Structure 1
Amino acid sequence: MSNEKIFDKRKEILKELVLQLHAGNEDLPKLKKKFKDELGDVSASEIAVMEQELIDSGVLTAEQITKLCDIHVDIFRSSLETHESPQSIPGHPIHTYTAENEKAKELIRKLKADFNPMDLIQLKQINTHYTRLENQLFPMLEKVGFSGPSQVMWAKHDEIRDMFNKADKEKVEELLDSVADMIFKEEGILFPASLEKLTEAQWVEVKNGEEEIGFAWVKPGSEWKPVTPEGIHGKDNPNVLPDSLSNLGLLQMKTGKMSLELVNLMITHLPVDLSFIDENDNVLYYSDVPDRLFPRSPGVIGRNVKNCHPPKSQDIVLRILDAFKKGEKNVAEFWLEIKGQFIYIRYFAVRDKDGKYRGTLEVSQDITNIRKLEGTKRLLNWS
């Protein structure tokens, strides 16, 4: 039997075991024994492919897999532990993720030994690690047809974020176990599968937007020197306009002319965050402003907007866009308080002169100080 046929057969056995788990037909100890007897050992890529195919085929939803992914990992844990965690050169995104995980493990050990609120505050920095995964690694995996992590792991990230918001000395144990389990899933499944699926050039793209989001506890090294086709053969700088455009100097707009440089400066000086989604629901643009309200990085460009949101809010985003496309609505607005800021979020349907839907503009603004305004302040009162 060929290696491909062996892999397919093992994958089908794996699927059957997971479906039995979801159906609740057999208890965990029996399934663990069955798994060991029939498969013995399993790689991270086999688990990743199996879960992805269950989602793609509609047999199980991402939400169903999320609910029981802790149990999946528990069944496969002993097998995964026989595979070494991926190691890479300092500067490679996986090396940075792994270094952050080592710091998180250290904080978990300290908190389990002796609860200290300051250590818990330190551990909360893991959110930056999750945000980088969501905005840089997950979009790249989606581009190669591997969307399972963004649907399943993001939901687990949000569960952990909620736990941090409610954590105290009595509830911290569950939180610490959840963070530790997520580290195991990353190093046992996500990272090996990602290294297998992404090219060196794609890892460069993952790395390019990391600085905009930031890092938890560590500073990436610089030893990683990727070898890519672009590095060998050269690549046009995407930030440099072709001569035919740059020679024009000015962009002709409806009510004036400006250089591209001034247009970018004007947008980045607006007191709002802007994002534009095209008529196919893909992100075309976001304003690279200082102190963004919500994290954005280059990995989001070209990504389906649904995948830019946590799984629990994806259906609502799609309903808004559907209402815009049908012409039922032109605006959707929301507001919330985050860390002392009052955030006002608006979505606007963008239509051309013929009324055809061309996309959606998202505008987010911190209106904390605006809400406090009273009376009048005229131009003559400026000082």
Structure 2
Amino acid sequence: MILNSKTKISELAKEYPFIIDFMPTLSPEYKKLQNPIIRRTMGAVATMEKVASIGELELDYLLNSVADEIERQTGKRPEVDLGVPTGTVSAPETAPAPAAAPMSQDERKEALKAILTDLHAGGDTDELKTRFAETIADITPSELAAVEQSLIEDGLPEEEVKNFCTLHVEVFKEGLDKGDVPSMPGGHPVHTYMIENRATENIVAELETALCDLGDHPDADAFEARKASLMANLEKLGQLNTHYTRKENQLFPTLEQHGITGPTQVMWAVHDDIRAAMKDAVSKTESGSAQEAVSAINEVNVAIKDMIYKEEHILFPMSLENLTEADWVWVRKGEEDIGYAWVMPSTGWEPEESVKAYDSGDMTTTSYVNLDTGALSLEQINLMLKHLPMDITYVDDNDQVAYFSATDDRIFPRSPGIIGRQVSKCHPPKSVHIVERIVKAFKSGERDVAEFWLERGGVFVHIRYFAVRDDEGTYKGTIEVSQDLTELRKLEGEQRLLDWE
């Protein structure tokens, strides 16, 4: 190997692995190279010239020091090419420097990944913004999503990516702002999301106006006078949950079918943070001090506006770039099952392609299915499941959602978008580990039942999971059963006579 200014640290480490432990002896900045994620990202694009700059070392000192260490370890010194010696007359100023070759897609991805890796390692945000502007300058939403997903696949926890996602946007904001905000015809799912965003902004603006009137140090009496108005707007803002739930159950599963998984799980986790922040704001406005309430509402406003930016500059453009017209038809068909926030879809969108709606077969057929204790038609089976006073979801032995009962009053929202989806992707990121533990215990035969109960808006909900096994005991899937037991818990004594009066 010839060592020169263009030698990449990744190439050097591959041939001489001991160099990674040697580098921090030259500069403490090189301790980052001992992190395998940084080594696979920044190291893949960082040349020795760049490495010398990071460590604030002269290039010739760095190259010769590395060569000395290689000779000490192997007994053979590599050739060092210092290029143009110091003091050599440079080319005339009138001679333009050759233009740098444009980065390939892989090089862009690795350079972007290196910037985010440095950010997670504690790098200065302003310095990284400058580095981005000088080396890459622009970024597409799909590139940012791909880089975040790559970091997760390299072992960076989703929780950490979530905690840093606002900083990710800040670093790349100048590049993201160069892209156009989507403009879709009425009725298209993106159009509906965006008119919901405009409605959200109106409510947030009313809250901000009230907070502005109260000032940074709100007077208790002035706060009491505005409390009813604040509570009314926070209650209206609660419909935002439907906006997020529709993304989680329809848009996210469709993106996952195209291999986009990490960013959707990160955004879902941010949804949950916003939901928790809204609950906190309601609680503190109801019973907290004026200062606590104002701070909590401010936190909600900032988080919601940040999410709108991420949707319109990252999520929606990325979705439009990756999903087909048929995908969008599928997304639209399932939205009615979740509902809308404040608005209804308008008209105007005429898809270029058609896609077959989810169809569970001809339910009017007269053929019967033979069961262990009788025979029912497909229509009868479907109607029976729909009329049971509980929600049922069936997950097959490949951990994919195969069915959910379309009852009129579901406790937890479901839409056709989850059919075929991995069950781990159907739950908030913070509870995925619980789901995975249950399924693992069911598959191993360690357990057959798991149950939970909780209060939800005054409703007592009982949730049970059952392992499904065939006659030989082979695991075939899991049934989730959720039931509203609020009224049943109130029953006392007996009722033996019909009471329809």
Category of TM-score, reference length = shorter chain: over 0.9
Q: Distance in 2 between matches of 1:321 and 1:295?
A: 21
Q: Which runs of 5+ in 1 are unaligned?
A: none
Deviation at 1:7, TM superposition (A): 2.0
Q: Distance in 1 between matches of 2:115 and 2:314?
A: 18
Q: Is the partner of 1:274 in helix, strand or coil?
A: strand
Aligned residues: 373
Does structure 1 retain, via aligned residues, the 8 Å contact 2:333–2:357? no
Does structure 1 retain, via aligned residues, the 8 Å contact 2:367–2:377? yes
Which TM-score applies when normalising by structure 2? 0.72
Q: Distance in 2 between matches of 1:279 and 1:162?
A: 33
Deviation at 1:237, TM superposition (A): 8.0
Q: Is the partner of 2:116 in helix, strand or coil?
A: helix
Equivalent runs, 1:1-383 vs 2, <5 Å: 6-24=104-122, 26-56=123-153, 58-115=154-211, 116-167=230-281, 168=285, 169-170=293-294, 171-228=296-353, 230=355, 238-241=359-362, 249-379=367-497
Q: Is the partner of 2:104 in helix, strand or coil?
A: helix
Deviation at 1:246, TM superposition (A): 6.8
Does structure 1 retain, via aligned residues, the 8 Å contact 2:330–2:357? no
Q: Distance in 2 between matches of 1:381 and 1:136?
A: 42
Does structure 2 retain, via aligned residues, the 8 Å contact 1:150–1:307? no
Letter in 2 for 1:222: T
Q: Distance in 1 between matches of 2:404 and 2:142?
A: 33
RCO greater where, 1 or 2, for CA within 8 Å and sep 6 or more? Answer: 1
Q: Distance in 2 between matches of 1:260 and 1:290?
A: 19
Does structure 1 retain, via aligned residues, the 8 Å contact 2:139–2:175? yes
Q: 1:292 to 1:229 in 2, by over 3 A?
A: closer
Deviation at 1:42, TM superposition (A): 1.5
Q: 1:229 to 1:112 in 2, by over 3 A?
A: closer
Q: 1:123 to 1:377 in 2, by over 3 A?
A: same
Does structure 1 retain, via aligned residues, the 8 Å contact 2:187–2:345? yes
Q: 1:4 to 1:246 in 2, by over 3 A?
A: farther
Letter in 2 for 1:299: G
> Which range moved further: 265-274 or 74-83?
74-83
> Which range moved further: 60-69 or 3-12?
3-12
Does structure 2 retain, via aligned residues, the 8 Å contact 1:138–1:149? no
Deviation at 1:193, TM superposition (A): 0.6
Letter in 2 for 1:178: A
Letter in 2 for 1:46: E
Q: Distance in 2 between matches of 1:246 and 1:102?
A: 44
Deviation at 1:82, TM superposition (A): 2.0
Q: Distance in 2 between matches of 1:124 and 1:203?
A: 26
Q: Distance in 1 between matches of 2:500 and 2:410?
A: 28
Does structure 1 retain, via aligned residues, the 8 Å contact 2:186–2:345? yes
Deviation at 1:29, TM superposition (A): 1.5
**Identical aligned pairs, as a percentage?**
49
Letter in 2 for 1:11: K
Q: Is the partner of 1:258 in helix, strand or coil?
A: strand
Deviation at 1:248, TM superposition (A): 5.0
Letter in 1 for 2:183: Q
Which TM-score applies when normalising by structure 1? 0.93
Deviation at 1:334, TM superposition (A): 0.1
Deviation at 1:249, TM superposition (A): 2.3
Q: Distance in 2 between matches of 1:311 and 1:273?
A: 22
Q: Distance in 2 between matches of 1:82 and 1:237?
A: 38
Q: Is the partner of 1:336 in helix, strand or coil?
A: strand
Deviation at 1:256, TM superposition (A): 1.1
